[in-house]
Amino acid sequence: MKKVLGLAALFLLVGASLALAAEGGAAGQLGFGFLGAVVLGACLGVGIAASGCGVGMGHATRGACEGIARNPELAGKLTVTMILGLAFIEALTLYALVLGFYLIFAKLGSFMALAGLGG
């Protein structure tokens, strides 16, 4: 697991350094500035939330399957509880997605106005 996290951090740092080292273009181009950082942060936030919730869903399903295997009489109660827990976990991912959309689209107009690019 440490190797995977290390490789992910390495790719993130290399990608960010390549984006920041790009040549400046015309005056109307934004480049990787504030807006790029907002988009990158929103995408990383949604990705981390989705992966964390996926791991949580896997653990919940594993626990329910083990519980049903140990005590088959409780299968109905465990299934209902597991589905309720999965719904709460999925809601956390949707909150992260809504926050990402808010950061990208709601703040885009104010950024464009500050940069003088809005109409």
Whether 110 shows a pLDDT value over 80: the answer reads no
Please tell me the pTM assigned to this model: 0.62
116 has a pLDDT exceeding 70: no
* pLDDT for the residue 78: 92
Find out if CATH 1.20.20.10 is the number for domain 47-114: yes
Which amino acid belongs to residue 28?
A: G
b or e along 27-61 (b: 16 or more beta carbons within 10 Å of the residue's beta carbon)?
eeeeeeeebeebeeebeeebeebbeebeebbeebe
Cα distances (angstroms) measured from residue 8 to each of 12, 21, 56, 106: 6, 20, 20, 29
- Percent of the chain scoring above 70 in pLDDT: 69
Percentage of residues in the chain with pLDDT exceeding 90? Answer: 38
What is the length of the chain?
119
22-78 residue pLDDT tens: 555 554 555 567 777 778 888 888 889 999 999 999 999 999 999 999 999 999 999
Q: In this structure, what token pair is assigned to residue 64?
A: 């329910």
